[in-house]
Amino acid sequence: MSRLCISSPVSRRWRFVAPWGSQSSQPGSVPPSELRHRERMQRKKAVVDAAVARAGKSRGLLLVLTGNGKGKSSSAFGMVVRALGRGLRVGVAQFVKGHSDTGEATFFRHHPAVTWQILGEGFSWETLDRQRDAAAAECAWTVAQGMLADPLLDLVLLDELTFPLKHAYLDIDRVLADIQNRPRNTHVVVTGRAASAVLIDAADTVTEMRDVKHAFRTGVRAQAGIDL
């Protein structure tokens, strides 16, 4: 007999319940494959529980989302949503995206718990002016410094920060010093391609997005709600 799937009206979580009189509810009638599965899951649970018990520290984290694949900023904005859901305050500094018509900008910039700053003028191949790009990056970092030093912000997202670092518009040692001198419990998320080894070494958590396939290469333009 198959199991029933019911939803809790309070938590909206689905759970499986064995119907009364089914085989799994009768002692001694559990198939060997089910017993083996339970044993594996019990061993797995013991390992996970032990790891959770050892992780007793709590402090602000530096997370880096890098790689050539799509989803770095998208993942970071997912953390912004999670933080807001926990009642935290968030600062967002965008270093490259020089326009305010993205879905995330429209959604977040007027949120009372979000400080939103669009600091970039676009990609360097759009401005074609290295000195202008470097000056813009310096001005942007001044704003980011203020966010990092603000004790009222619980999460600071430095979106596409790796771009001005890669092109040496900003000094990596100064950037890391400002990040490390932030309030102890402030979380920082850095996104962008080609994160340097120095930045990766300084981070607590690093995720690399791998480019497997992208619609743009087949002639499909950026889609509203998916890419921007």
Domain residue limits, the chain: 4-54, 62-218
**What digits encode the pLDDT tens for the residues 18-41?**
555 455 555 567 888 888 898 899
Q: Quick one: pLDDT at residue 1?
A: 45
pTM of the prediction? Answer: 0.80
Alpha-carbon distances, residue 50 vs 45, 58, 213 (angstroms):
8, 17, 38
Judge whether residue 62 has pLDDT over 80: yes
Task: State the number of CA atoms in the 13 A half-sphere of 84 facing the CB.
Answer: 18
Q: Is the pLDDT of residue 143 over 70?
A: yes
What is the tens place of the pLDDT at every residue in 90-113?
A: 999 999 865 567 889 889 988 999
Mean pLDDT, range 136-162, rounded to an integer: 95
Q: Would you say residue 124 has pLDDT above 50?
A: no
What is the spatial distance between Cα 143 and Cα 153, in angstroms, rounded to a whole number?
13
Q: For the chain, how big is the Rg over CA atoms in Å?
A: 23
Among residues 209, 189, 149, 160, the alpha carbon closest in space to that of 61 is found at 189
Q: Which CATH class is domain 62-218?
A: alpha beta
Beta bridge partners of 63: 189, 205
